[in-house]
């Protein structure tokens, strides 16, 4: 089966890999190429097709291998796999790459609830060290001064803004945002349905019918076409006999070619879309967490807190040519105690200050603090700049130990004056349960 390789994707990987194997005097090139984009667009599969086309050997690491109960294991694994890739270059005489899939899932920090472990720090530091000295990569406990071969690193992910910023800076990582255009989508989908003899016009009809769907949507569509025959087979042989007919059978079942007509494919596609929409609209997680709050005696979030919930999808939605529709927004992340800080949309400016004016608190903010102090909760203050606001990396400004509202107000006004161009929020903490019962932004830049 001849799969389609997007020309832009092939060009980017071919140039980056080849450049890292050339000795260009006076040219410092980044070792890492980060391929990022929204989920399901075929980043990893396109990489594999490029490797096969260019005859490149790939040594793989999954994002799930970047955590371990033993501190230091993932960092050692990265160094070991990198040296294995360098050895393949020397022994086999072919270009080799180290490929890390879903790097952001293994080493990224999506919100305040993401645990930042020692292994996360070591993984980031190890990748930075390899990017800076790619021919001197040592294993813990040993040192070999013999230089090894430089091997380019390809990493994939959805959102690289969750990664440690010094790792993704220019000079260490070259970024490539992969968003297939209509021609790429038609070519890739044509490869998926190549055994089914669909014409180019049929493929274009499918792509234009579902312009906001990712590439893997069409693979799922093709897979579900076979469900009808498999269902018929199951009830024909009987549920009790399926195992004997399928596993280690001398007479495995065969199936005729299903109906791959465009209307049938579109019908299956709409069925998949309806299931996607149910996931987005049911939001059972919100109902579950609301029930937990009520059971534990805490009130449901106020309208102000509900307005602070993120309303925009975490990943970018594909914009088809001439099409203004986007994927439905993903449900807001809910916590058992409180809502986390809102994610700032990348292209929209922050709103105006809503809890303070020129460093002076609004009456409703003072009333909120009074209620927290009177109920015995501890009040804290946190701040964050606009860049770190997107990753929810808040920093502590002050912790108010007193129950006097005057002193608490003075401490909050002092923090507002110290960080006039940053986000500032107050938090209420239940000292007994060690849980946050409120997070409310009172200043926006």
| 212, 94: one domain | no
In this structure, which long-range contacts are made by residues 89-95, counting pairs with CB atoms below 8 Å and at least 24 apart in sequence?
89/149, 89/151, 90/149, 92/57, 94/55, 94/56, 94/57, 95/17, 95/18, 95/21, 95/54, 95/55, 95/56, 95/57
User: pLDDT-based confidence at 114, cuts 50/70/90?
Assistant: low
pTM score of the predicted model:
0.63
Tell which wins on pLDDT, 287 or 327: 287
| Each residue's pLDDT tens digit, 10-22 | 999 999 999 999 9
Is residue 43's pLDDT more than 90?
yes
**What single-letter DSSP state applies at residue 196?**
G
State whether 171 and 191 are in the same domain.
no
Backbone angles phi, psi at 379, to 5 degrees: -110, 130
Does pLDDT of 205 surpass 80?
yes
Single out the residue in 177, 201, 231 at which a domain terminates: 177
CATH number where 27 lies: 3.40.50.300
| Residues 172 and 201 both lie in one domain | no
Gap between the Cα atoms of 119 and 67, Å rounded: 6
Same domain assignment for residues 19 and 164:
yes
Task: Give the CATH number, domain containing residue 400.
Answer: 3.30.190.10
Is 70 in the same domain as 27? yes
Q: 206 in a domain, yes or no?
A: yes
Name the band, by pLDDT with cuts 50, 70 and 90, for residue 308: very low
User: Do 83 and 189 fall into the same domain?
Assistant: no
Report the range out of 122-131, 376-385, 388-397 with the highest average pLDDT: 122-131
Choosing from 177, 204, 239, the residue where a domain stops is: 177
Q: Is residue 308 part of a domain?
A: no
- 158-191 pLDDT tens trace: 999 889 999 999 999 999 999 999 999 999 999 9
Same domain, 116 and 22: yes
Looking only at the bridges linking them, the beta strands covering 96-101 and 57-62 are: parallel
Residue 310 located in a structural domain: no
Same domain as 189, residue 153: no
Same domain, 382 and 399: yes
Is-contact 78 155, C-beta < 8 A? no
Q: How confident is the model at residue 133 (pLDDT cuts 50, 70, 90)?
A: very high
Of the pLDDT bands very low, low, confident and very high (cuts 50, 70, 90), residue 135 is: very high
* CATH for 238: 1.10.8.1070
Is residue 201 a part of any domain in this protein? yes
User: Can you give the pLDDT at residue 177?
Assistant: 95
Cα atoms in the Cβ-side hemisphere of radius 13 Å centred on 47: 26
Give the residue numbers spanning the domain of 374. Answer: 351-445
CB 321 within 8 A of CB 180: no
Domain count, the chain: 3
- Position 383 in a domain: yes
Q: Verify that 157 and 193 share a domain, yes or no.
A: no
Mean pLDDT throughout 30-57?
A: 94
Q: How far is CA 393 from the centre of its chain?
A: 16
In a domain, 21, yes or no: yes
Task: Decide which of 144, 177, 210 is a domain's last residue.
Answer: 177
For residues 257 and 364, membership in a common domain is answered with no
Is residue 120 domain-resident? yes
Structure-block tokens of residue 335: 């916590």
329 lies in some domain: no
* Residues 90 and 197 reside in one and the same domain: no
């Amino acid at each position: 089966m001849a799969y389609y390789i997007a020309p832009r994707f092939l060009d980017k990987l071919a140039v980056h890999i080849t450049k890292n194997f050339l000795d260009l005097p006076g040219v410092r090139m980044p070792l890492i190429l980060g391929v990022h984009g929204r989920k399901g667009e075929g980043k990893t599969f396109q990489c594999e097709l490029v490797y096969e086309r260019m005859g490149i050997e790939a040594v793989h690491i999954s994002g799930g291998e970047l955590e371990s109960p033993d501190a230091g294991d993932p960092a050692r694994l990265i160094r070991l796999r990198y040296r294995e890739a360098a050895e393949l270059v020397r022994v086999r005489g072919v270009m080799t790459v180290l490929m890390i899939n879903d790097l952001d899932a293994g080493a990224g920090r999506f919100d305040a609830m993401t645990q930042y472990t020692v292994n996360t720090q070591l993984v980031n530091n190890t990748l930075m060290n390899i990017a800076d000295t790619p021919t001197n990569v040592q294993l813990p406990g040993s040192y070999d001064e013999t230089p090894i071969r430089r091997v380019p690193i390809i990493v994939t992910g959805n959102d690289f803004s969750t990664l440690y910023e010094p790792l993704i800076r220019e000079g260490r990582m070259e970024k490539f945002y992969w968003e297939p255009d209509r021609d790429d989508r038609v070519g890739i989908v044509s490869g998926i349905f190549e055994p089914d003899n669909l014409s180019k016009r049929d493929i274009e009809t499918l792509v234009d019918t579902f312009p906001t769907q990712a590439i893997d949507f069409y693979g799922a569509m093709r897979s579900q076409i076979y469900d009808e025959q498999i269902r018929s087979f199951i009830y024909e042989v009987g549920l009790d006999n399926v195992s004997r007919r399928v596993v280690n059978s001398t007479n495995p079942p065969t199936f005729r070619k299903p109906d791959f007509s465009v209307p049938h494919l579109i019908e299956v596609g709409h069925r998949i879309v309806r299931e996607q929409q149910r996931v987005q609209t049911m939001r059972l997680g919100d109902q579950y967490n609301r029930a937990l709050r009520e059971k534990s005696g805490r009130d449901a979030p106020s309208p102000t807190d509900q307005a602070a919930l993120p309303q925009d999808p975490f990943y970018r939605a594909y914009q088809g040519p001439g099409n203004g529709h986007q994927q439905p927004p993903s449900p807001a992340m809910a916590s058992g105690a409180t809502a986390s800080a809102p994610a700032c949309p990348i292209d929209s400016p922050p709103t105006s200050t809503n809890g303070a004016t020129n460093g002076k608190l609004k009456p409703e903010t003072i009333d909120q603090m009074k209620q927290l102090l009177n109920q015995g909760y501890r009040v804290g203050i946190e701040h964050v700049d606009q860049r770190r606001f997107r990753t929810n990396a808040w920093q502590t400004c002050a912790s108010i130990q007193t129950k006097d509202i005057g002193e608490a107000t003075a401490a909050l006004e002092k923090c507002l004056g110290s960080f006039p161009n940053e986000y500032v929020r107050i938090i209420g903490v239940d000292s007994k349960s060690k849980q946050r019962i409120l997070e409310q932004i009172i200043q926006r830049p």
